[in-house]
Homo-oligomer: A and B are copies of this chain.
Amino acid sequence: MSRSPSDVPNPAVRRLSLYLRQLETLAATDVATVSSRKLAQSLNLTDAQVRKDLAYFGQFGRPGVGYEVVPLIQRLRGIFGTDRTTHTLIVGAGNLGRAVAAYGGFRAKGFELVAVFDSDEKKIGRKVARLPVQPLEELPEVINKHDVRMAILAVPAGAAQAVADRLIELGIRGILNFAPTPLQVPSSVTTRSVDVAAELEQLSFLTSAE
Give me the interface of A with B, judged by CB distance under 8 Å.
4-6, 10, 13-14, 16-18, 20-22, 25, 28, 43-44, 79-82, 86, 94-96, 98-100, 102-106, 108-111, 149-150, 157-158, 173-176, 180-182, 184, 190, 192, 194-209
Contacts and interface: CB of A to CB of B under 8 A. Distances in A.
Nearest to A17: B198
Given A176-B200, A201-B82, A206 B5 contact: yes
A6 B208 CA distance: 11
Most B-side CB within 10 Å, residue of A13, A106, A190:
A190
Contact of A176 (B20, B21, B44, B203): B203
A103 B180 CA distance: 13
A105 B196 contact: yes
Contacts of A103: 95-96, 99, 196
A201 B96 CA distance: 20
A105 B197 contact: yes
Closest 5 CB pairs of A and B: A95-B104, A174-B207, A17-B198, A81-B208, A190-B206
Given A17-B180, A79-B205, 5 more contacts: A14-B198, A21-B197, A95-B104, A103-B196, A106-B200
Nearest to A82: B204
Contacts of A44: 182, 184
Contacts of A200: 82, 105-106, 109, 111, 176
Contact of A181 (B21, B192, B203): B21
B205 A199 contact: no
A204 to B, nearest CB: 5
Contacts of A180: 17, 21
Contacts of A157: 21-22, 25
A110 to B, nearest CB: 7
